[in-house]
Amino acid sequence: MKARLSVVVLALALVGLAANAQAQVGSGGKARGSGGVEVFSSEQQCFPGFNCFTFFFPSGETGHFNFSVDLDGLLPLIDLTANNPVSGDQIRMTDGSAVVNHVNKSLSGAGACEVNGVAGTCQYNASDRGEPGSDDFFTLQYTSPAGTGAFSGRLLSGNIEIQ
């Protein structure tokens, strides 16, 4: 009987830990960051009898981004801008969602954006991997009739802070 009780107590403790970790995901918070990451060039290829695919290739160029996210109020406040020097695209988030994971200090979100003033969609992820920011990570993918592109990688410059 004692062995079963111990197993039940251990199981309840593990469930409690998992629920506690889950509660920390998306339960408010703030994040901000700016810097540069590698830009990927995109190329669309269509194959007879198949769909078209977009392939991304490293460009060797640095794209710059700036964001601030505040999830402590009733509505998320998201300000994200970026520029792609390869294509000349200017990206600005206009509406979207964000989730802060306090356990692994990461941020992810998606929503509507403008690419060169034309409506599109964006997805982004950021990871705060300590100071001074050289191990931080940022990814942005965007699509609109005006342009498609991606930034991704460890920061070449700048810092991300997730609270």
Domain-located, residue 1:
no
Residues of the chain predicted below pLDDT 70:
1-27, 42, 44, 54, 56
pTM beyond 0.85, yes or no? no
What is the SS3 assignment for the chain? Answer: CHHHHHHHHHHHHHHHHHHHHHHHECCCCEEEEEEEEEEEEEEEEECCCCCEEEEEEEEEEEEEEEEEEECCCCCCEEEEEEECCCCCCEEEEEEEEEEEECCCCEEEEEEEEEECCEEEEEEEEEECCCCCCCCCEEEEEEEECCEEEEEEEECCEEEEEEC
Domain-located, residue 44:
yes
- The tokens 């197993």 sit on which residue? 7
Per residue in 37-66, is it b (16+ CB within 10 Å) or e — as a string? bbbbbbeeeeeeeeeeeeeeeebeebbbbe
Domain-located, residue 21:
no
pLDDT digits 0-9 by tens, 120-140: 999 999 999 988 878 899 999
Domain containing residue 69: 28-162
Domain-located, residue 128:
yes
Structural domain count, the chain: 1
Q: Write the CATH number for 114.
A: 2.40.160
Domain-located, residue 13:
no
Per residue in 123-154, is it b (16+ CB within 10 Å) or e — as a string? bbebbbbeeebeebbbbbbbbbebbbbbbbbe
What pLDDT does 42 receive?
A: 67
Domain-located, residue 5:
no
Domain-located, residue 16:
no
Domain-located, residue 11:
no
Q: Which residues contact 154 (CB under 8 A, 6 or more apart)?
A: 37, 134, 135, 136, 137
Closest by CA to 107, choosing from 73, 141, 69, 143, is 69
